[in-house]
Amino acid sequence: MEIRAVSKYVRLSPTKARDLTRAIQGRRVGEALQVVELNKRKAAVCLGKTLKSAIANAENNAELSADKLWVARAVVENGPTIPRYWPRARGSAAPIRKKTCHIRVTLTDEPPSRK
């Protein structure tokens, strides 16, 4: 059974969060929480909230035990970019792109197959 949790419009660049999601894929939920909690980055805080939300969904909605769950997939997708401008010399402007992302975590009660 697959349980999902999504955090949308997170004010974080997707490239800064992708390496952390690769680190937790295929791990037990307890190990993944340790990896996320021991990391100091902003991406770890956002990913940890989404992971805890998925665990709560599994316990409350599907009545599954948290110690029997695995992280099947953790994906960071591009969200909308907020355009801003920075003033430059002689009345010109330089663009600033404030990126956002969507974080999706999928848990399963079956261990992942090793390929």
Residue at 56: amino acid letter: A
Q: Which residue has the tokens 């197959």?
A: 113
CA distances (Å), 21 to each of 13, 74, 76, in order? 13, 5, 7
Side chain identity, residue 96: I
pLDDT tier at 4 (50, 70, 90 boundaries)? Answer: very high
% of residues, the chain, pLDDT over 90? 88
CATH of 2-108, one of 3.40.50.920, 3.40.1190.20, 3.90.470.10, 3.30.460.80: 3.90.470.10
Show me where the domains of the chain are located: 2-108
pLDDT band at 115 (very low <50, low <70, confident <90, very high): low
Instruction: Record the pTM.
Output: 0.88
Distance CA 108, CA 106 (A): 7
Q: Rounded CA gap, 72 and 5, in Å?
A: 12
d(CA 6, CA 22): 16
